[in-house]
Amino acid sequence: MLLKELQAFRTLEEAAEGMAGNYLKWDHFVYFGQPKDPHKAKSFLLAYTVNHINGGGACEISNHEVLRKYLEMYIGEGEDALVNDFSSDFCGDKKMLEGFKIVVYKDGQITDAFRRAYFMSRKYKDGLPLSDKYFKIVCRREIMRDLNYELPHICEKLKLEFSTELIGHVTDVIMEDFSTEFEPELLGEDEYERALKDLSDKYKKSLV
């Protein structure tokens, strides 16, 4: 993953030299946007920040969103942009691996976009969120997604009427819990997974 890879380098200059053209060393990989000019091909990096194949945990997803926000001013489309959204497909799903294409060198100089990414890597601690705020947002989103998927099945099993009012009620309970007993920023990713399971079990029992 990008931030962890950047941390391996002691200086910005070493990171730029080590990461530029990194994808050219990958086995069994083809980048269809690779320039024919070898100098251009070595001027940027490709990096994944979210791996949905292995679950793409809340911490990983929130860190991707924080990094994207931090690089937002450079993100665009086409070769002129310093940063492009980048993804690879897996079994036909084009969003299973997400990340960025970042131009490392332009006109012989290290770009501000790469400087920002390197600076963010100095703040990164493996397995911890870069921002408690974004981590909370992702946690809420993941819980709501799971419950919205599970609620119809739960209602059918318990012979309850499924309705938008029921979804609203469960949502209110979740939001209340987030302001009291469940504080995601205090948890590591494994602890979050356990807390999410406990909450899901609790809400299922509350519907009985």
Per the CB < 8 A criterion, the answer to whether 129 and 59 are in contact is yes
Cα 189 to the chain's mean position, in Å?
13
Rounded CA-CA distance 46/33 in Å is 11
pLDDT at 44 over 90: yes
Q: Is the pTM value of this prediction over 0.75? A: no
**Average pLDDT of the chain?**
78
**Residue 204, token pair as written in the block:** 């299922």
pLDDT at 59 over 70: yes
Query: How many CA atoms lie less than 13 Å away from 159 in the CB half-sphere?
Result: 0
Q: Which residue has the higher pLDDT, 170 or 112?
A: 112
Query: pLDDT by residue (tens digit) across 74-91?
Result: 999 888 899 999 887 665
Rounded CA-CA distance 184/122 in Å is 22
Least confident of 87-96, 121-130, 177-186: 177-186
